[in-house]
Amino acid sequence: RMSTPEISFEFFPPASLKDSFRLWNTINALEGFQPKFISITHGTGNKPRALTQDLVETLLEHKDLTVAAHLTCVDMSAESTLNLVRSLAAKGLKDIVALRGDPAPDHGGAFRPHPLEK
């Protein structure tokens, strides 16, 4: 039985240097709430997926927080998903939140599974 609620925070990768400072200040301010984990959403919209990897690596190196990569796996093959997970694990990441994700509007809005690779 839980006596106090546990919380987590989800962040999106910053789009600019100014946003990077704002994000870092926000994480510093929220750290005092002792979240169970924080998650960084991976490559949403037009943001490069490398931003998530860089942010996860920086947080793991400089913060005493449990960090999870929040992967939206839409339009990713099984091979590219596994390669990403391996890359993040090699940088010390142990926690992942993985979702299918919703397709971008320019993909017709309907989910289409990625063909299985042999």
Catalytic positions, written as ranges:
10
Rounded CA separation 14/52 (Å): 9
Taking CA 67 as the corner, what is the angle to CA 37 and CA 49, rounded to the nearest 5 degrees? 130
* Beta-carbon count within 10 A of 94 CB: 10
